[in-house]
Chain A
């Protein structure tokens, strides 16, 4: 899968990228803030976009909303990655994207979790 990973914490980016590439065998591109993420998402075709909940420029929710509005053609699935866990945040994530991953995620099961979410959303 071709995945866009949008996350401002460089350590998390590094780890998630390693897991997605080495364990999942995916092709991963990285964006470090909401603006960059939106830009890349609109101009490239991805299979999956993973959005951090809180990023500079645009928060994940906003990126997702703008992406859904403006993207022409095939739209990628969106999964949120967030440390927030209030019921309000979760229902927002679920209404806009396919699902969410709670931080801190389990590195061993990250890839299977993503597969599960995509299967459920399909």
Chain B
């Protein structure tokens, strides 16, 4: 009898059985009580009738009634007394009759006493059975509720706690000795489920490590031959090792550009692998936003000029001297990615606007607006994925690797920020990212920097 279902069934059966059997017993006793009461009442009635009759005149009637009286009793004592009485009647011996009559009355008194006692006893029995028939099932019910609480609800609560722990990455999942019932089955299933999850997790971690290792080795192995290729092409195109005619020089330039693109792709892949394997540690410190804007603009100045795109920047009040808690190299990488994208997709003579706005006392939004073709809504969700580009670049000189936005997203998210795009087809795009903390820069250090 180990399963909870069987236990509950048994207890329910016991409760029902006790209630029914005691109910039946009480009913039976009550019947007996009523019969006895009826008989006593009937005998009293007949006796009273006999009492008032004249013995000489109504002999036959008395005999008939006495017979009935006799019928209403079964007790042998009474039977004896009656037969004596009837004898007395029949013999017409008044003396004897009187004696017998007094005997009869004595017996009768005794009978009533006994009857009273029997009635009392029956009454008590009925009460007792009703009491038992109520209390025992109630006790059983209490036991059942107790068992529900401690045998079912408590283990369920423990199970749910274990699951919660599992959810928040504490893998203390094992039930050491599951009981041999339904709860135990649940615990055993949970144990094996958790084990499976852990195994899968280990496998995934191993796979992830293998992937990161592969990317890093592959990148290293790719970089060595690329060094020779890039070096040779550089020497050729710069005519350090001899002069080339115009066509040959152009071919070499194409090869050089494509080699550079390959190098960028490898660098991006490595960056992304580093961020994804969480081996990238940010060097966060309070750094000046205006200086970051300035440095980024300076580094992209040549590219913007060659694409004939104007690059503008606005730092809105109160951010004029602000500092942001960030790894400024990495945020510059994000800015460079977004701005060079904006330049690449801008028409000639277009304007790219870099803007910083304080969203509140803590968050700052940096946005890059272009006048390019815009991005359709369905593509807006895709472009932050790896190797996704909505349309080809209009700028033939620098082709993207398809990783820039994925890296930017990962870097901004490492800073606990958000990145996104607002765009309508034909109306340009605004890429923005939000960083979680800014403060007013130290004015003294600003002056010092200016002085320096």
Residues of A near any B CB (own CB < 8 A)? 9, 11-12, 15-16, 18-19, 22-23, 83-87, 103-108
Residue of A nearest to B222 (CB): A83
Chain A residue at smallest Cβ distance from B220: A83
Check A9 against B235 for contact (C-beta < 8 Å): no
For residue B224, CB closer than 8 A to chain A, the reply is yes
User: Which of A11, A83, A87, A104 has the most chain B CB atoms inside 10 A of its CB?
Assistant: A104
Contacts of A22 in B (CB 8 A): 240-241
Q: How far is the CB of A79 from chain B (nearest CB, A)?
A: 15
13 interchain pairs, CB-CB under 8 A? A11-B227, A15-B227, A15-B232, A15-B235, A84-B220, A86-B216, A86-B274, A103-B227, A104-B230, A104-B263, A105-B230, A106-B234, A108-B238
Cβ of A107 and Cβ of B238 under 8 Å apart? yes
CB < 8 Å neighbour of B228 from A9, A19, A23, A85:
A9
Which residues of chain B (211-231) have a CB below 8 Å from chain A?
216, 219-220, 223-231
Residues of A within 8 A of B172 (CB): none
Report which B residues bind A (CB closer than 8 A): 216, 219-220, 223-235, 238, 240-241, 259, 263, 267, 270, 274, 279-281
* Contact in complex: B241, A107 (CB < 8 Å): no
> 5 smallest A-B Cβ distances: which pairs?
A107-B234, A15-B231, A83-B223, A11-B228, A104-B227
- Chain B minimum-CB-distance residue to A9: B224
Q: For the complex, what is the distance from the CA of A43 to the CA of B270, rounded to whole Å?
A: 39
Contact across chains for B281 and A15 when beta carbons are under 8 A apart: no
Chain A residue at smallest Cβ distance from B283 = A87
Question: Which B residues touch A9, using CB under 8 A?
Answer: 224, 227-228
Of all chain A residues, the one with the shortest Cβ separation from B216 is A86
Q: Which one of B225, B226, B235 contacts A19 once the chains associate, using CB atoms below 8 Å?
A: B235
Name the distance in Å between B84's Cβ and chain A's nearest Cβ: 125
With both beta carbons as reference points, the residue of chain A lying nearest to B259 in the complex is identified as: A104
Nearest neighbor of A104 in chain B, beta-carbon distance = B227
How far does the alpha carbon of A83 sit from the alpha carbon of B220 in the complex, in Å?
5
Q: Which residues of B contact A16 (CB under 8 A)?
A: 231
**What residue of chain A has the Cβ atom nearest to residue B271's Cβ?**
A85
Most chain B Cβ neighbours within 10 Å, of A15, A16, A18: A15
- Asked if A104 and B281 sit within 8 Å, CB to CB, the answer is no
Q: Which residue of B lies closest to A23 (CB)?
A: B240
From A85, which residue of chain B is reached at the shortest CB distance? Answer: B270
CB contacts (< 8 Å) of A108 on chain B: these are: 234, 238
Q: Which residues of B contact A18 (CB under 8 A)?
A: 235, 240-241
A108 to B231: give the CA distance in the assembly, Å: 9
A8's closest neighbor in chain B, by CB? Answer: B224
Contacts of A19 in B (CB 8 A): 231, 234-235, 240
Known contacts A22-B240, A107-B240; 16 additional CB pairs below 8 A are A12-B231, A15-B227, A15-B232, A16-B231, A19-B235, A19-B240, A22-B241, A83-B219, A83-B224, A83-B227, A85-B270, A86-B216, A87-B280, A104-B226, A105-B231, A107-B231
Distance from A114 Cβ to chain B, minimum over Cβ atoms (Å) = 14
A105 near B240: Cβ-Cβ < 8 Å: no
Q: Shortest distance in angstroms between B175's beta carbon and chain A's nearest beta carbon?
A: 42
Also in contact, A104 and B220, with CB within 8 A (given A23-B240, A85-B270): no
A107 to B220, CA, bound (A): 19
A61 → B minimal CB distance (Å):
15
A77–B234 alpha-carbon span in the complex (Å): 26
User: CA of A104 to CA of B223 in the docked complex: distance in angstroms?
Assistant: 6
In chain B, what residue has the closest Cβ to A52?
B224
